[in-house]
A and B are shown apart, each in its own frame.
Chain A
Amino acid sequence: MASATLLKSSFLPKKSEWGATRQAAAPKPVTVSMVVRAGAYDDELVKTAKTIASPGRGILAMDESNATCGKRLASIGLENTEANRQAYRTLLVTPPGLGQYISGAILFEETLYQSTVDGKKIVDILAEQKIVPGIKVDKGLVPLAGSNNESWCQGLDGLASREAAYYQQGARFAKWRTVVSIPNGPSELAVKEAAWGLARYAAISQDNGLVPIVEPEILLDGEHGIDRTFEVAQKVWAEVFFYMAENNVMFEGILLKPSMVTPGAECKDRATPEQVADYTLKLLHRRIPPAVPGIMFLSGGQSEVEATQNLNAMNQGANPWHVSFSYARALQNTCLKTWGGQAENVKAAQDALLLRAKANSLAQLGKYTSDGEAAEAKEGMFVKNYVY
């Protein structure tokens, strides 16, 4: 019998050796060095985070993967080629004076290494615009085994060396987007995994000179009301901060990218900007330590105007952290449509981008008014089961 053979196996210590083996194996008292974080990039991380979180400014998220960028281009009848992606991204980073309203731009890997048709590096253009280049570093969502049909975010393998290379190329912040789905629970497992993955990514990023943007997106999909979103958001952020603390992440050198607290997209009860602001600020007050310099909200399918109004409502009083935006669709939508892929439309498209950027800049300062907003800008952009 197998077990009998195992008992005779030579790898087990002989009885005479037991005492010695046990002593040798006994754990010596460990001097647990209290990890007092003193990373090589600490000062720079704090400075970069503060710069991005400067008054009146926010982030332009333009890190759509090639597949997702393809959808954008398709919506204006363009083929998903590198040349078209290059043309679009060039359009986005070159509007004169964009840096007044935009402090950072999140890039996809291709764009970080791209140049314009004139041979100018995109990262150099951004530097001239006084816009800090950032880089999406996650490798997307995949099914989470053992969960309730939920996802988890991949990307930790080799992350350190990738980020070191991105730093060399000029990136100074990173972004990792994981999701939590309320219709699917969320399960304890999914929340834990989301939070732990973010914490590991944040620690590795800081180790390699990149300010981590921490993004646990609570998806808009669902029929749930705003109270349920509030409940889940409190749970998610409690987990995220605890795991980041366990991973010795330096909070003065991170930025957050939360979803606002709103009803689900299919909930029949809608909320006003004031209600969204109320719930969202309460969430922040209960979960975000003041050491965090900036909270840059994602728009997640809100219309351009909604996203601006909600941000404005949140900035009607003083906050212990910079409360701002990191918008993709809510900054790019009208701009993209205006361009339509035509060279002669570039200026108009850039004006549209500047218009949205300025509106959100004013919203960050609590000074936005929606008079004069075009109807198109009020169009919702929620896509059910949206895949990034």
Chain B
Amino acid sequence: MSAFVGKYADELIKTAKYIATPGKGILAADESTGTIGKRLASISVENVEPNRQALRELLFTAPGAVQYLSGVILFEETLYQSTAAGTPFVDVLKAGGVVPGIKVDKGTVDIAGTNGETTTQGLDSLGARCAKYYEAGARFAKWRAVLKIGGAGGEPSELAVKQNAEGLARYALICQENGLVPIVEPEILTDGAHDIKTCAAVTERVLAAVYKSLNDHKVLLEGTLLKPNMVTPGSDSPKVGAEVIAEYTVAALRRTVPPAVPGVVFLSGGQSEEEASQNLNAMNKLEVLKPWTLTFSFGRALQQSTIKKWAGKKENVAAAQAAFLARCKANSEATLGKYGGAAAGDAATSESLYVKGYTY
């Protein structure tokens, strides 16, 4: 049961390590066409290709921002898009030292017989698609599995955990066969009234199952990244401080993630921009041994204020890019445990981004 060491092994290890560079993190800009439509709708912008292209160009060319990014996750459409001036996005990113990544899953579907639990689709022809994406310049991939904490049903069920863990493992191995570092994302939604201890127990249970599957499938751990949720109370429960979240989260990771994994790139879920940075910062300040880098892979928590400031208007691009730079820098500092907090009066960054029953 040794790990799979194919022709891309060295490159995978190198890429994964680079993405996990302390001081850098990932911009998750892989919103599907449907989801990005919601973002655009929130600023009354039409969901057409030029607008989607304009938003992503705003982000990728923001002056000074890319130095804080080691990777960007793209949606398929974006991987093949260019700037208005005609430079392919992948080239813009590479020139800035940013590794292009690609979302490869095909969304979730319900598992019949469960209480609304899901599995993630996308394994069919995944190998061929990954090879294609590699040719287009992608060097890492992402696949999001979703689990929820239920009440009377005791979710997540054994079936849902197993199914999602196995899906992640198959995806991960196929990626490695085709030169892409798999980001393994078992997201446990915050929806619910459970306390932080419950979230911790479920997170530990899920991560143990995920790593069991990865190991059974001979995935090369040194060439992967983990994208977990932070351990927090449920969305309907009283909030707790960043230090508490940090302690529970790091404890959960220390119990489940082998040191061979170079980096843990957190998802932000529905946390506000400021919350997400504060939590990441607190984790990196904890004086306990963490053999993997703890960094970010944020979507909403990097883009929210930026999108609002842009509002679809050319004249706002500079201001929007400045907002984006500020969040990138904040999170970069958070990975080093050096984040000092948002500027006073910056209410936008504290806006909660939680959406109940959020579908990606």
Q: Which residues of A contact B (CB under 8 A)?
A: 29-32, 34-36, 227, 230-232, 234-235, 238, 241-242, 245-246, 251-252, 282, 284-291, 320
Q: Are B154 and A32 in contact (CB under 8 A)?
A: yes
> Inside 8 A of A238's CB, which chain B residues have their CB?
1, 211-212, 215-216
- Chain B residue at minimal CB-CB distance from A288: B258
Q: Are A289 and B258 in contact (CB under 8 A)?
A: yes
**Min distance, Cβ B313 to any Cβ of chain A, angstroms:** 48
Which of A34, A35, A227, A232 neighbours the largest number of chain B CB atoms within 10 Å of its CB?
A: A34
Grouping DSSP codes into helix (H, G, I), strand (E, B) and loop, the A interface class, with mixed when no group exceeds half, is helix
Q: Are A242 and B208 in contact (CB under 8 A)?
A: yes
Q: Are B208 and A34 in contact (CB under 8 A)?
A: no
Q: CB of B173 within 8 A of chain A?
A: no
- Bound form: Cα–Cα A274–B99 in Å: 35
Q: CB of B34 within 8 A of chain A?
A: no
* Choice from A230, A232, A291 contacting B251 with Cβ under 8 Å: A291
Q: Are A287 and B215 in contact (CB under 8 A)?
A: yes
Q: Are A320 and B215 in contact (CB under 8 A)?
A: no
> Inside 8 A of B211's CB, which chain A residues have their CB?
238, 241-242
- Bound form: Cα–Cα A29–B114 in Å: 12
Question: What 0/1 pattern do residues 191 to 224 of B give for CB contact below 8 A with A?
Answer: 0001001101110110011011001100001100
Q: Are A29 and B152 in contact (CB under 8 A)?
A: yes
Q: CB of B345 within 8 A of chain A?
A: no
* Choice from B1, B151, B290 contacting A31 with Cβ under 8 Å: B151
Q: Which residues of B contact A (CB under 8 A)?
A: 1-3, 151-154, 194, 197-198, 200-202, 204-205, 208-209, 211-212, 215-216, 221-222, 251, 254-260, 289-291
- Chain B residue at minimal CB-CB distance from A32: B154
> Inside 8 A of B215's CB, which chain A residues have their CB?
234, 238, 286-287
* Choice from A230, A285, A288 contacting B2 with Cβ under 8 Å: A230
Q: Are A36 and B251 in contact (CB under 8 A)?
A: no
Which of A285, A290, A291 neighbours the largest number of chain B CB atoms within 10 Å of its CB?
A: A290
- Bound form: Cα–Cα A286–B2 in Å: 10
A286 touching B221 in the complex, CB below 8 Å, given contacts A31-B152, A291-B251? yes
- Bound form: Cα–Cα A282–B260 in Å: 8
Q: Are A245 and B208 in contact (CB under 8 A)?
A: yes
> Inside 8 A of B256's CB, which chain A residues have their CB?
245, 289
**Min distance, Cβ A308 to any Cβ of chain B, angstroms:** 25
Q: Are B153 and A36 in contact (CB under 8 A)?
A: no
Grouping DSSP codes into helix (H, G, I), strand (E, B) and loop, the B interface class, with mixed when no group exceeds half, is helix
Q: Are B151 and A291 in contact (CB under 8 A)?
A: no
**Min distance, Cβ B228 to any Cβ of chain A, angstroms:** 14
Give 8 closest A-B pairs by Cβ, nearest first: A32-B154, A245-B208, A235-B1, A238-B215, A29-B152, A34-B201, A291-B254, A242-B212
> Inside 8 A of A30's CB, which chain B residues have their CB?
152, 154
* Choice from B3, B151, B202, B251 contacting A286 with Cβ under 8 Å: B3
Q: Are B260 and A285 in contact (CB under 8 A)?
A: yes
> Inside 8 A of A251's CB, which chain B residues have their CB?
254-255
Q: Are B255 and A289 in contact (CB under 8 A)?
A: yes
- Bound form: Cα–Cα A29–B157 in Å: 12
Which of B205, B215, B251 neighbours the largest number of chain A CB atoms within 10 Å of its CB?
A: B215
> Inside 8 A of A320's CB, which chain B residues have their CB?
259, 289, 291
* Choice from B151, B198, B212, B259 contacting A285 with Cβ under 8 Å: B259
- Bound form: Cα–Cα A290–B289 in Å: 8
Q: Are B2 and A36 in contact (CB under 8 A)?
A: no
A290 touching B254 in the complex, CB below 8 Å, given contacts A31-B151, A238-B216? yes
Q: Are A36 and B197 in contact (CB under 8 A)?
A: yes
Cβ contacts A to B, 24 pairs, < 8 Å: A29-B153, A31-B154, A32-B154, A34-B194, A34-B197, A34-B201, A34-B205, A36-B198, A232-B1, A234-B215, A241-B211, A246-B208, A251-B254, A282-B260, A285-B260, A286-B3, A286-B222, A286-B260, A287-B258, A290-B254, A290-B259, A291-B255, A320-B289, A320-B291
> Inside 8 A of A285's CB, which chain B residues have their CB?
258-260
> Inside 8 A of B201's CB, which chain A residues have their CB?
34-36
- Bound form: Cα–Cα A252–B252 in Å: 11
Q: Are A241 and B154 in contact (CB under 8 A)?
A: no
Q: Are A245 and B289 in contact (CB under 8 A)?
A: no
- Bound form: Cα–Cα A34–B234 in Å: 14
* Other contacts beyond A238-B211, A245-B205: 10, CB < 8 A: A30-B154, A31-B152, A32-B154, A34-B201, A36-B198, A235-B1, A242-B211, A286-B221, A290-B254, A291-B254
